[in-house]
Amino acid sequence: MGLLALGGGAVAAGILRRATKVRPRYEPWERPPYRDFPNRILILGGGFAGYTAAKELCQRTRHRDDVGIMLISRENFFTFWPMVAAVVSSDIETRNVAQPLRRALISLGASFRRAEVESIDLENRKVTADGQEFPYEHLIVALGSEPAYFGIPGVQKYAISMTSIGTAERIRNRVIERYEETTLARGDVPDSKLTFVVIGGGATGVETAAELHELVHQVLRPDYPNINPHRVRIVLVDRNEQVLKELDPALRRTARKKLADLQIEVISRVKAKEITPDKVILDDGHEIATENAIWTAGARASEKLDDFDLPRDERKGLIVDAEMRVKGHSNVWGVGDCAAKVDKDGNAIPPNAQAATQQGKAVAKNVLGFIDGDEPQPFKYKPLGQLVEMGSRFAVNEVLGIRFSGQLAALFWRMTYLYKLESPQSRVRIAADWLLDLFFDQAVTQIRERE
C-alpha cells in the first residue's frame, strides 16, 4: 500500500498540475548576446557541478545587465546519476535519467553550446570548442570524471565500464543477449555465459548488482520460463573489507545481509588482476569464469584536462585552493569530480552529486563576489547523508545522522530523487511508471541495429 500511495499521489498531483496550470510559453531570451556582456562567465561541463553553477549564476544575475553566462557541454543533457543503475532493470526509462540542458539553461537566461572543448588560451582568455572561439572573463572548469583502470590488463577491452546512461542500457542488453543465446541453445551454454561479475563495492557497484538481480528474477522471468533464474550467478568483487565502506558499519552489515538474501556473492579484500574474454583473474590467484565483467571500481579526473596547461595533482585533478580557484589563476575555477577533493578543513570531498551540487552553488557565489570586489569564501562540504537503493523495495539510507533501511528507506529514496529531478516531465513519467509496475509485469526489450 505504501508504494501504491506514493505512486498514485505523485501521478495524481502531476496530472492535476498539468490540467490546471497554463502551459509556459518559451519566448526568445531578450538579453544581449553572450559576447556583448562586460563580464562573461564560461562554464565547461554540463554535469551536476557545471549545471548547478550556471543555474545559481542565472538566478543571482536575473536583474543585472553586466553578467553573461554560457555553458559548453559535449552532450545536450546531464545525467542524473543517482538513478542510472535503475535503468539496468528498466525500473526507470533512459529518457527520464537524461535531464535536458538546452531548454533549462535558455529559460534561465544562459547561453548553451553543445561542443567538444579543444583548448584553453589562458593568456587571451578564450576557449576553443569544435573550431569556434568563446571568450571569457571567468572560466569554471567542471568536466567531471571517468573510470580509472589502474593499468589492469583487459579492463577497457573486455569489461563494461559504468560510465553513462548508455552503459546501463548495454548491461541490460547483455543480459537479454545471454538469455537469447541460452534459449536458442536449449540451455546448453557454459556457466560463464550466465555469470556476471561486478567489480567495485561502492554505491554504484552495489546498486548495479542489485538491479541485475531484479532484472533476472523479476523482469525477465515471465519472458524466459525455460531458464532457471537461480542458474544466473552475480558476483560482487571489492578490495575493501566490506562493501559500501563510506556508510555506517551497521548499514554496511545490513547491506551485506541483503546481498546474501539476494544470493549475490560478495568477494572482499581482493582486486581484479586481469580480465580476459572468458574470466576475471583476482590478485589472490582465484579465477571467475565469466564473459560478463562490469567495472565500477574507481574514477579519475577527465582525460580532457591533459590537453590544458593547468596544474594538477597525483590523481590528475585540478589543484584548487579553498575558494575553488585553480592554483596560479585568479579567474579560473575548478569544481566537481575534475578538481582536487579537499575542502577548507582538509576533509575529503566524495565524488557524488551532492558534493558537486554544493560546489556548483558555492563557485557561483564566489565568481560573482569576485566581480563585485568581494573576497571569495572558502568551500566547506556539508554531507547530508547517503542513499543506496538495492532493488525497487529496499534501500539503506543515512540522512543527517539518522540511519534506516528496508522498504521505508526505498520509499524515501524514491521521493527524494523525484523531488531532485530537474525535469517536471521526468518526475511525472517516473512516478507513473512506478505506479503501473504495481499492476502490470514490467516489459523489457533489446533494440538491435541492423547493419
Reading the block at residue 305, the C-alpha cell is: 584536462
Contact status, residue 218 vs residue 210, Cβ threshold 8 Å: no
3-state secondary structure of 234: strand
CA 8 to CA 432: how far, in whole Å?
Answer: 8
CA 167 to CA 354: how far, in whole Å?
Answer: 22
Phi, psi values for residue 272, rounded to 5°: -75, 130
**What dotted CATH number matches 155-297?**
3.50.50.60
Low-confidence ranges of the chain (pLDDT < 50): 1-8, 10-12, 14-30
CA 127 to CA 121: how far, in whole Å?
Answer: 6
Contact status, residue 74 vs residue 113, Cβ threshold 8 Å: no
CA 99 to CA 101: how far, in whole Å?
Answer: 6
Segments of 162-291 assigned E as strands: 195-199, 233-237, 265-267, 272-276, 279-282, 287-289
pLDDT at site 31? 63
Give the pTM: 0.90
Q: Cβ neighbours of residue 39 under 8 Å, at least 6 residues apart?
A: 66, 67, 68, 137, 138, 371
**What dotted CATH number matches 31-74+115-147+300-371?**
3.50.50.60
For cell 585553480, the residue is 326
Sign of torsion, CA 157 296 414 76? negative
CA 167 to CA 81: how far, in whole Å?
Answer: 12
pLDDT at site 15? 39
Write b or e for each residue in 156-174: b if 16 or more Cβ atoms lie within 10 A of its Cβ, otherwise e.
eebbbbbbbbebbbbbbbb
CA 231 to CA 212: how far, in whole Å?
Answer: 13
Helices (H) and strands (E) in the chain, counts: 11, 23
Contact status, residue 86 vs residue 391, Cβ threshold 8 Å: no
Neighbours of 184 (CB within 10 A): 10
Contact status, residue 203 vs residue 244, Cβ threshold 8 Å: yes
Contact status, residue 210 vs residue 219, Cβ threshold 8 Å: no
Q: Residues of CATH 3.50.50.60 domain(s) within the chain?
A: 31-74+115-147+300-371, 155-297
Closest CA to 229 of 182, 288, 167: 182
pLDDT at site 235? 98
HSE-up (13 A, CA, CB side) for residue 395: 22
